[in-house]
A and B are shown apart, each in its own frame.
Chain A
Amino acid sequence: MLEIKNLHVSVDGKEILKGLNLSVKPGEVHAIMGPNGSGKSTLSQVIAGNEAYEITSGSITYQGKDLLEMATEERAREGVFLAFQYPVEIPGVSNLQFMKTAINNIRHHRGLDEINVAEFMKQAKAKSQQVDLDPAFLKRGVNEGFSGGEKKRNEIMQMLMLEPTLAVLDETDSGLDIDALKVVADGVNALRAPDKSVVMITHYQRLLDYIVPDYVHVLARGQIIKSGGKELALELEDKGYAWLGIEEATA
């Protein structure tokens, strides 16, 4: 599914990722943990195609294709989804209009006709209830005046609507209360399938109580320094990053 080899990434001339390797197979859920400032968010932005980041060397292969050669929107149409850590607002553009435009762009790319409006509305309503968002939110501007938790749930709802093949969640759990956390976890678990993969970036172990990962990686100083099963997360929770000889950066 996703093969990252020796990835080096800089932003504004400063090297953030320094030779990162990661291999994700279909059906797997990977958790990437690490202290602040270790490069977790950079990794998610680079997979999604944010052009502010400069890839100085290395490769990313997605479903056998060179991901770095693909434009941002093309990656999305090929099934790459990023749940943003800080979703931006688009005033005046309703969530419905936004999602319908996105879905139709993706469908067009796949040679399909535009989605039937009634079918779309039915789905949108069902998915909003699934993430515990009042369907009235659908008519409001994208993230316009949403609380932090509502924005995160909205990201998960978009994920459920777009049914990505590879979902990257960038600290989707941060700032959520336990109920919201469960909603987010249920959403991600609903997406799990033998042909879909999830990469979760998180600072805390608690999300992993609800979404049980197949692999856990520790990212520090721009590299993955330790990988293991779900028990690695518990160990980290217990002993802290210092156990691995890492100091928490004050970010």
Chain B
Amino acid sequence: MSNSDKAVKELIKREYEHGFVTNIESDTFEPGLNESIIRRISAKKKEPEWLLEWRLKAYTAWQQMEEPEWAQVKFPKVDFNSIAYFSAPKSNENAPKSIDDVDPELLRTYEKLGIPLHERARLAGVAVDAVFDSVSIGTTFKEKLTEAGVVFCPISEAVHSHPELVKKYLGSVVPQRDNFYAALNSAVFSDGSFVYIPKGVRCPLELSTYFRINEANTGQFERTLIIAEEGSHVSYLEGCTAPMRDENQLHAAVVELVILDDAEIKYSTVQNWYPGDENGLGGIYNFVTKRAACIGKNSKVSWTQVETGSAITWKYPSCILRGDNSVGEFYSVALTNNLQQADTGTKMIHLGKNTRSTIISKGISAGRSDSSYRGLVKIGPGAENARNYTQCDSLLIGDKCGAHTFPYIESKNKSAVVEHEATTSKVSDDQLFLCRQRGIDAEHAVSMIVNGFCKEVFKELPMEFAVEATKLLEVSLEGSVG
């Protein structure tokens, strides 16, 4: 076995550090999916009639849809009747008014995850919404945000506090029938974050949602909706973890972003769902639909994702560039190890004039994993002078993993310029030898080389999280050199 293989093996062996279970009494629905389950979810959340109708419509559509099979991933069929579609801590029943009223056991869970919620230890400059299984358990810095006119709350709360906005924009970017998992989410979504940035407001804090799956045999189906009014600006980050379990768990989220004239949303994800063990047992199926609609002129959206977790990732954060001069960006690092599989990328749909998009994708495969970049760049007939630049780099560690690139380009306007560059490289024995000859051990060398490879993406992350992401890569790679 070569040096690099050995070093990577060692590196990957580290245990998943967020794999603990919180022992808390939960109110969990029995497994199964039918109309009455959907009615019960809706009733739990005391939803208005229109939303229940909306859910049922999605459910009807979903029943007629087929699971997508085009992705470069393999897994046994999911039995949708073996999943519980709602689970909430009992102590959360009477919706705590402030963080101080939240069950201390839940607060301890988030503290353990490095996301302290209580006043004393909060992350400076970051407002956090903590979602535990199917419900939000609290949001920090509410007053400060309210002062600025920013709305940041669980979507189930927004349904009551800002019904006109939810009604107007829910499903406007990702329609109910968009795809199999989006339809399922539309039928059964539980909680998630709602953000509204009023005209001309620059959000004074970073906003962040931390998703935690805790209960066994449940799925998490969160729904996030962010609306940036004219000339506003917001930076939003989501993080995700789950306990180690031998069964696969489903996470099928939908994220919708709406960006009006001159507004900007920066959306960052650090995804660290449980990836399964080294033999591929357990782990989260992360089947997610994320899309941004740049409706306004000069609007801008930037997706940055660091994907290290999940047994399977199926995710294509996309940008619909409708407004003239609008800009879409996608920066991605996807790392797969052991038997993980990832099929991820983006879609850039250019409709407006002078729209620009940039795609920088870094895929790292180690162990026996498989990672694919899949991206679509579509230039509509009216997209005069549209520009796209795509760069897809793959880094292989060892000789048992795979990397694939599937770029799709459709251009219907002659003035458009679309560029695509792709590279595949290996962490070479020569590189490792150079590092070791300088006194750096193989594990450290591999993580240094991998971090160097990801640099262009990491620099897009908010400062606090760039450090986090670097550490996360080290953990995820541990044992990949042997």
Chain A contacts to B: CB under 8 angstroms: 48-52, 71-73, 75-77, 81-82, 84, 87-88, 90-93, 97-99, 101-103, 105-106, 109, 141-142, 158, 162
* Shortest distance between the CB of A82 and any CB in chain B (Å): 5
Return 28 A-B CB contacts under 8 Å, by A number.
Answer: A49-B436, A52-B429, A72-B433, A72-B436, A73-B436, A73-B437, A73-B440, A76-B437, A76-B438, A77-B439, A82-B437, A84-B437, A88-B428, A88-B430, A90-B434, A90-B435, A90-B448, A90-B449, A92-B452, A92-B454, A92-B455, A92-B456, A93-B451, A93-B452, A99-B438, A105-B444, A141-B452, A162-B439
Cα-based distance from A99 to B429 in the complex (angstroms):
19
Cα-based distance from A72 to B435 in the complex (angstroms):
10
User: Are B452 and A91 touching (Cβ within 8 A)?
Assistant: yes
Contacts of B444 in A (CB 8 A): 101, 105
- 4 pairs of A and B residues whose beta carbons are closest in the complex: A92-B452, A93-B452, A102-B438, A76-B439
Cα-based distance from A106 to B456 in the complex (angstroms):
29
* Shortest distance between the CB of B413 and any CB in chain A (Å): 35
B431 at the interface (CB under 8 A from A): yes
Among A87, A88, A101, the residue within 8 A (CB) of B440 is: A101
Q: Which size class do B's interface residues fall under? A: 20 to 34
User: Can you name the residue of chain A whose Cβ is closest to the Cβ of B425?
Assistant: A91
Contacts of A109 in B (CB 8 A): 439
Contacts of B436 in A (CB 8 A): 49, 71-73, 76
B27 at the interface (CB under 8 A from A): no
User: Chain B, 435-463, contact with A by CB distance < 8 Å: what is the 0/1 string?
Assistant: 11111111010001101111110000000
B358 at the interface (CB under 8 A from A): no
Among A92, A99, A106, the residue within 8 A (CB) of B451 is: A92
Cα-based distance from A92 to B362 in the complex (angstroms):
12
Cα-based distance from A42 to B434 in the complex (angstroms):
15
Chain B contacts to A: CB under 8 angstroms: 3, 428-431, 433-442, 444, 448-449, 451-456
Looking at chain B's contact residues, the main secondary structure is helix
User: Are B449 and A93 touching (Cβ within 8 A)?
Assistant: yes
Cα-based distance from A76 to B428 in the complex (angstroms):
19
User: Can you name the residue of chain B whose Cβ is closest to the Cβ of A155?
Assistant: B434
Cα-based distance from A102 to B448 in the complex (angstroms):
11
Contacts of B451 in A (CB 8 A): 92-93
Cα-based distance from A122 to B4 in the complex (angstroms):
33
Contacts of A105 in B (CB 8 A): 438-441, 444
If the complex has contacts A84-B434, A88-B431, A88-B434, are A93 and B439 also in contact, measured as CB distance less than 8 A? no
Cα-based distance from A49 to B448 in the complex (angstroms):
21
Contacts of A91 in B (CB 8 A): 452-453
User: Are A87 and B438 touching (Cβ within 8 A)?
Assistant: no
User: Are B448 and A98 touching (Cβ within 8 A)?
Assistant: yes
* Shortest distance between the CB of B454 and any CB in chain A (Å): 7
* Shortest distance between the CB of A243 and any CB in chain B (Å): 35
User: Are B448 and A93 touching (Cβ within 8 A)?
Assistant: yes
Cα-based distance from A84 to B431 in the complex (angstroms):
12
Cα-based distance from A99 to B452 in the complex (angstroms):
14
Cα-based distance from A102 to B452 in the complex (angstroms):
15
Contacts of B440 in A (CB 8 A): 73, 101-102, 105
User: Can you name the residue of chain B whose Cβ is closest to the Cβ of A78?
Assistant: B439
Contacts of B430 in A (CB 8 A): 88
User: Can you name the residue of chain B whose Cβ is closest to the Cβ of A141?
Assistant: B452
Cα-based distance from A98 to B434 in the complex (angstroms):
11
User: Are A162 and B452 touching (Cβ within 8 A)?
Assistant: no
Contacts of B435 in A (CB 8 A): 90, 98, 102
Cα-based distance from A76 to B448 in the complex (angstroms):
18
Cα-based distance from A87 to B434 in the complex (angstroms):
8
User: Can you name the residue of chain A whose Cβ is closest to the Cβ of B452?
Assistant: A92
Contacts of B442 in A (CB 8 A): 73
* Shortest distance between the CB of A137 and any CB in chain B (Å): 16
User: Can you name the residue of chain A whose Cβ is closest to the Cβ of B438?
Assistant: A102
If the complex has contacts A88-B428, A92-B455, are A51 and B3 also in contact, measured as CB distance less than 8 A? yes
Cα-based distance from A175 to B109 in the complex (angstroms):
61
Contacts of A158 in B (CB 8 A): 438
User: Are A102 and B439 touching (Cβ within 8 A)?
Assistant: yes
User: Are A101 and B434 touching (Cβ within 8 A)?
Assistant: no
If the complex has contacts A88-B428, A90-B449, A105-B444, are A72 and B437 also in contact, measured as CB distance less than 8 A? yes
User: Can you name the residue of chain B whose Cβ is closest to the Cβ of A82?
Assistant: B437
Contacts of A162 in B (CB 8 A): 438-439
* Shortest distance between the CB of A152 and any CB in chain B (Å): 14
Contacts of A48 in B (CB 8 A): 433, 437
* Shortest distance between the CB of B457 and any CB in chain A (Å): 10
User: Are A49 and B437 touching (Cβ within 8 A)?
Assistant: yes
Contacts of B3 in A (CB 8 A): 51
